[in-house]
Structure 1
Amino acid sequence: MKHAYVFPGQGAQFPGMGKNLYDTNPTAKDLFEKANEILGFRISDVMFTGTDEDLKQTRVTQPAVFLHSVIAFLCGAEGAKPDMVAGHSLGEFSSLVANGALTFEDALKLVYIRATAMQKACEQNPSTMAAVLGLEDAKVEEICKAVSEETGEVVVAANYNCPGQLVISGSLKGIEVACERMKAAGAKRALVLPVGGAFHSPLMAPAREELKAAIEKTTFSTPTCPVYQNVVAKAVSNPAEIKQNLIDQLTGAVKWTQSVQAMVADGATNFTEAGPGKVLQGLIQKIHKEAVVNGIN
Structure 2
Amino acid sequence: MKAYVFPGQGAQFSGMGLDLYEKSSEAQELFKQANKILGFSITDIMFEGSVEDLKQTKVTQPAIFLHSVILSKVLGDNFKPDMVAGHSLGEFSALVANKTLSFSEGLTLVSKRAIAMQHACELEPSTMAAVLGLEDEMVESVCAAIDGIVVAANYNCPGQLVISGSVDAIEKACENLKERGARRAMVLPVGGAFHSPLMEPARKELAEAIENTTFNTPMCPIYQNVSTTAITNPDEIKKNLIFQLTAPVKWTQSVQNMIKDGASTFIEVGPGKVLQGLVKKIDRSMETASAEL
Asked if TM exceeds 0.5, the reply is yes
CA distance in 1, matches of 2:251, 2:263: 15
Q: What is the letter of the counterpart of residue 2 of structure 2?
A: H
> CA offsets per residue over residues 132-162 of structure 1, 9 Å max, x none?
0000000000000001xxx2x1100000000
Q: What is the letter of the counterpart of residue 249 of structure 1?
A: Q
User: Aligned residue for 1:30?
Assistant: 29
Contact 1:66-1:90 at 8 Å conserved across structures: yes
> CA offsets per residue over residues 21-60 of structure 1, 9 Å max, x none?
1112111111111000000000111111111111112221
CA distance in 2, matches of 1:186, 1:79: 46
What are the within-5 Å matches in structure 2 for residues 202-281 of structure 1? Answer: 202-281=197-276
- Larger mean CA deviation between 283-292 and 49-58 belongs to 49-58
- The reply on whether 1:292 has 2:287 as its aligned counterpart is yes
> CA offsets per residue over residues 117-140 of structure 1, 9 Å max, x none?
001111112200000000000000
CA distance in 1, matches of 2:249, 2:57: 18
Q: How much has 1:116 moved relative to structure 2?
A: 0.4
Say which SS state the counterpart of residue 20 (structure 1) adopts. Answer: helix
User: Aligned residue for 1:97?
Assistant: 96
> Per the alignment, do residues 289 and 267 of structure 1 end up closer, same or farther by CA in structure 2, a change over 3 Å counting?
same
Aligned residues with identical type, % of pairs? 65
Question: Please, which runs of 5 or more residues in structure 1 have no aligned partner?
Answer: none
- Larger mean CA deviation between 42-51 and 77-86 belongs to 77-86
Contact 1:101-1:222 at 8 Å conserved across structures: yes
User: Aligned residue for 1:141?
Assistant: 140
- The reply on whether 1:82 has 2:77 as its aligned counterpart is no
Say which SS state the counterpart of residue 72 (structure 1) adopts. Answer: helix
Question: Please, which runs of 5 or more residues in structure 2 have no aligned partner?
Answer: none
Q: How much has 1:78 moved relative to structure 2?
A: 3.6
Contact 1:6-1:95 at 8 Å conserved across structures: yes
CA distance in 1, matches of 2:187, 2:291: 30
- The reply on whether 1:114 has 2:113 as its aligned counterpart is yes
> Alignment RMSD, CA only?
0.9
TM-score by length of 1: 0.97
Q: What is the letter of the counterpart of residue 129 of structure 1?
A: M
> CA offsets per residue over residues 53-84 of structure 1, 9 Å max, x none?
11112221100000001111111354422110
CA distance in 2, matches of 1:18, 1:125: 34
CA distance in 2, matches of 1:78, 1:62: 27
TM-score by length of 2: 0.98
Q: Which of 163, 167, 170 matches 1:172?
A: 167
Contact 1:58-1:196 at 8 Å conserved across structures: no
User: Aligned residue for 1:64?
Assistant: 63
User: Aligned residue for 1:125?
Assistant: 124
CA distance in 1, matches of 2:221, 2:197: 27
User: Aligned residue for 2:277?
Assistant: 282
CA distance in 2, matches of 1:37, 1:193: 33
User: Aligned residue for 2:4?
Assistant: 5
Q: What is the number of residues matched between the two proteins?
A: 292
CA distance in 2, matches of 1:52, 1:189: 26
CA distance in 2, matches of 1:124, 1:92: 25
User: Aligned residue for 2:39?
Assistant: 40
Q: What is the letter of the counterpart of residue 141 of structure 2?
A: E
- The reply on whether 1:198 has 2:193 as its aligned counterpart is yes
